[in-house]
A and B are shown apart, each in its own frame.
Chain A
Amino acid sequence: MQTWVEKVILFVWCGFSYVFLLSPMVVVMGASLHGGEFSAAIKFPPVDPSFQWYTKIPMQQFEALGLSLIVAAVATFLAALIAVPAALGLVRSNFRGKFIVTTIFRAPLQIPAIVSGIAFLQFYYLIYDNSSLMLAGTIPGMLIGHVFIATPFMFGTIVAVLQRFDHRLEEAAHSLGAGKWRTLYRVTIPTIMPGIYSGGLYAFMVSFADVPMSIFLTAPGFVTYPVELFYALENDFDPSILASSSLVIVFCLVMLLGVQKMVGLETLLRSGGGSAR
């Protein structure tokens, strides 16, 4: 049993953690309701609250948000297409240089995103010089970069799930008449699905939030949402940025709740983890 002292300590500590994590968001959302005249410094708590700045969010931010969501979704899907087979192959085989290949799959995590961004840009210019194919500032070019930074998150979670995978499940499927592909489709993939979901969530977030790499791969009229916000902050700050950010925060919360309803966030968070067991 906890004594009352322990309960108080636990309460205070948890309360502190929540305040620490949530207060920046509360401040942003509060300040977005600023009702007075334009002011370069944010006002919290808001004076004379109103939604006026919400009506002043520039259209290009919505366009950028749309682009970011599409890029993040497609990049996550492509990352899964690469990471699932790679993880299956690497966890289950034993060959010379396995360690090196595994490291390569995790390498994008170690490279600062800004370095990757410069590298991709230079690489795209090199391709352009040799073939007149321009990737910089295009959807494919952006996607390649995002798949590059998102894949390690997918790969890592799926490897963790597979290492705990009970290979007897596959033997059981074989004994019941299922061949290799049928077993993969009916047993292996469904069993590691929670890992794919949680890896996917990470990958999506990494792609959606990336500035340092994406900033090199944008073009006028082709800008992802966080980069757009970054430009806006740099050039002409006004509280509509706060309003726009608040919308995204709400959007993310709604999405998390949706995921929670669908697969159960606990299953998702527990999985680097095994099966539904």
Chain B
Amino acid sequence: MSGVKLDNIVKSYGSTVAVNDVSLDIKEGEFLTLLGPSGCGKTTTLRLISGFIQPTSGAIHFGDKDVTGIAPQHRQIGMVFQDYALFPHLTVGENISFGLVERRYEKAAIKKRVYELLALIKLEEAADRYPSEISGGQAQRVAVARAVAHPPSVLLMDEPLGALDLKLRETMQTELRRIQQELGITAVYVTHDQSEAMNMSDRIVVMNAGIIEQIGSPKDIYSNPKSVFVANFIGQVNILDCHVATQADKTTELDYHGQKITAQNEKSLRQGKAIFLAIRPEDIKITVRAAGKSQNSLKGVVSEALFSGNVMKISVTLDSGDVIKVECQPKANNFDIGDHVHVNWMPEDCNILLN
């Protein structure tokens, strides 16, 4: 087992660049998720780590070992595929032992290891069944057991839960995380599902158009997105186009269509600069009257009100024409379409983005 290091990896196909100068330092035992829309280069990055494709330039290290140019079968990887890719002609037990046979384990050792793994994935009774005779969730667990049977340097997972239904997916997220932590294995996980990424990861790498937009813990990425793309991709967000009016020590006064907005901000910005202001829907409160001076407050009309059980999703069309999405408690917020209201939020809930 070891960490994984990517140095300035570039992968291009003709004139298209799939992965553009990606550097990553994955720590030993870390669960790292590559997150992004389809075509962002996350799967290509995973396949580069696995060795199924080779980088156009750059280097990949597993621990101290340079594995660039080495074929996948010599890399000591574990790989889990979206559609499981279990061998249909082999039983569950034989699938799990496949890699052990290739690595020339003793017969007795293979038997012992297979039963250990069946216990780990809680499928002891399925050892002699064929892949066609088990459910999707079970197949996925077998795929994981097969991948980690001979302890790999890194466990690579390519949207492994994509084919499962929502309920099962959530159970499997916990399950995968448990297995990964029990084995203390380094894991790289690819998904386009942000909630999956948030639930499972130690760190998330948000990718877009072949480059890394941001790396950080789920919490960090959610509360401090570095770009409009990341803010939009992780959860819901309201973006307002503003200009910098004045810049003080830790607060910036913004101009939004002639109205003043106060934002807490550590960046130093020059006056008149155009920026994007990001505010999360759950940080906004709706009131009938304008809130006190300490808060930002804008006037508008309720244009949509959706009740979805635990939250009320309200859209407010501002005087400027922009629409602000708000999420709030259903009990305390009984607003109807057409109501004239104020949307209010604290300066510390503002996030100023430059691109």
- Residues from chain A with a CB closer than 8 A to the CB of B79 are 171-172, 175
* Complex alpha-carbon distance, A187 and B74, angstroms: 18
Q: Are A177 and B99 in contact (CB under 8 A)?
A: yes
* Complex alpha-carbon distance, A54 and B181, angstroms: 75
* Complex alpha-carbon distance, A178 and B99, angstroms: 7
Q: Are A168 and B89 in contact (CB under 8 A)?
A: no
Q: Are A172 and B132 in contact (CB under 8 A)?
A: no
Q: B77 touches which one: A166, A175, A187 (CB < 8 A)?
A: A175
State whether the Cβ of B107 lies closer than 8 Å to any Cβ in chain A: no
Q: A174 touches which one: B71, B89, B90 (CB < 8 A)?
A: B71
Q: Are A193 and B146 in contact (CB under 8 A)?
A: no
State whether the Cβ of B349 lies closer than 8 Å to any Cβ in chain A: no
Q: Are A178 and B73 in contact (CB under 8 A)?
A: yes
With contacts A172-B87, A191-B89, A277-B132 known, is A186 near B98, CB below 8 A? yes
- Residues from chain B with a CB closer than 8 A to the CB of A193 are 89
- Residues from chain B with a CB closer than 8 A to the CB of A276 are 88-89, 130, 132
State whether the Cβ of A112 lies closer than 8 Å to any Cβ in chain B: no
Most chain A beta-carbon neighbours within 10 Å: one of B74, B98, B130: B98
State whether the Cβ of A173 lies closer than 8 Å to any Cβ in chain B: yes
User: CB within 8 Å of B: which of A161-187?
Assistant: 166, 168-169, 171-179, 182, 186-187
How many A-B contacts are there with CB distance less than 8 Å?
73
State whether the Cβ of B78 lies closer than 8 Å to any Cβ in chain A: yes
Closest to A186 in B: B98
State whether the Cβ of A245 lies closer than 8 Å to any Cβ in chain B: no
Q: Are B146 and A176 in contact (CB under 8 A)?
A: yes
State whether the Cβ of B64 lies closer than 8 Å to any Cβ in chain A: no
Q: Are A174 and B73 in contact (CB under 8 A)?
A: yes
Closest to A168 in B: B85
* Complex alpha-carbon distance, A217 and B228, angstroms: 79
State whether the Cβ of B304 lies closer than 8 Å to any Cβ in chain A: no
Q: Are B71 and A166 in contact (CB under 8 A)?
A: no
State whether the Cβ of B102 lies closer than 8 Å to any Cβ in chain A: yes
State whether the Cβ of A275 lies closer than 8 Å to any Cβ in chain B: yes
| Chain B interface residue count, Cβ-Cβ cutoff 8 angstroms | 30
- Residues from chain B with a CB closer than 8 A to the CB of A66 are none
Q: Are B102 and A182 in contact (CB under 8 A)?
A: yes
* Complex alpha-carbon distance, A1 and B150, angstroms: 52
Q: Are B77 and A173 in contact (CB under 8 A)?
A: no
CB distance from B92 to the nearest CB of A (A): 14
Q: B52 touches which one: A171, A177, A179 (CB < 8 A)?
A: A171
State whether the Cβ of B55 lies closer than 8 Å to any Cβ in chain A: no
* Complex alpha-carbon distance, A182 and B103, angstroms: 12
Q: Are B89 and A177 in contact (CB under 8 A)?
A: no
State whether the Cβ of B36 lies closer than 8 Å to any Cβ in chain A: no
User: CB within 8 Å of A: which of B18-56?
Assistant: 50, 52
With contacts A175-B73, A277-B131 known, is A191 near B98, CB below 8 A? no
- Residues from chain B with a CB closer than 8 A to the CB of A168 are 81, 83, 85
Q: Are A277 and B88 in contact (CB under 8 A)?
A: yes
CB distance from A255 to the nearest CB of B (A): 24
Q: Are B88 and A179 in contact (CB under 8 A)?
A: no
* Complex alpha-carbon distance, A166 and B72, angstroms: 18
Q: Are A191 and B87 in contact (CB under 8 A)?
A: yes
* Complex alpha-carbon distance, A190 and B87, angstroms: 9
CB distance from B125 to the nearest CB of A (A): 21
- Residues from chain A with a CB closer than 8 A to the CB of B10 are none
Q: Are B102 and A176 in contact (CB under 8 A)?
A: yes
User: CB within 8 Å of A: which of B97-136?
Assistant: 98-99, 102-103, 130-132
* Complex alpha-carbon distance, A166 and B83, angstroms: 10
- Residues from chain B with a CB closer than 8 A to the CB of A166 are 83, 85
Q: Are B102 and A175 in contact (CB under 8 A)?
A: no
State whether the Cβ of B207 lies closer than 8 Å to any Cβ in chain A: no
User: CB within 8 Å of B: which of A100-152?
Assistant: none
- Residues from chain B with a CB closer than 8 A to the CB of A178 are 73, 98-99, 102
* Interface membership of chain B positions 59-92, coded 1 if the CB is closer than 8 angstroms to chain A and 0 otherwise: 0000000000001111011110101011111100
With contacts A275-B88, A276-B89, A277-B132 known, is A177 near B81, CB below 8 A? no
CB distance from B190 to the nearest CB of A (A): 14
Nearest 4 CB-CB pairs, A to B?
Answer: A176-B99, A275-B88, A175-B79, A177-B102
15 example contacts (A-B, Cβ-Cβ < 8 A) are as follows A168-B83, A169-B87, A172-B85, A172-B87, A175-B79, A175-B156, A176-B98, A176-B99, A177-B74, A177-B76, A178-B99, A186-B98, A190-B87, A190-B90, A191-B88
User: Residues on B close to A: CB < 8 A?
Assistant: 50, 52, 71-74, 76-79, 81, 83, 85-90, 98-99, 102-103, 130-132, 146-147, 149-150, 156
Knowing that A168-B83, A174-B71, A179-B71 touch, tell me 17 more A-B residue pairs with CB under 8 angstroms: A172-B87, A174-B72, A175-B77, A175-B79, A175-B156, A176-B73, A176-B149, A177-B76, A178-B99, A178-B102, A179-B73, A190-B87, A190-B89, A191-B89, A276-B130, A276-B132, A277-B132
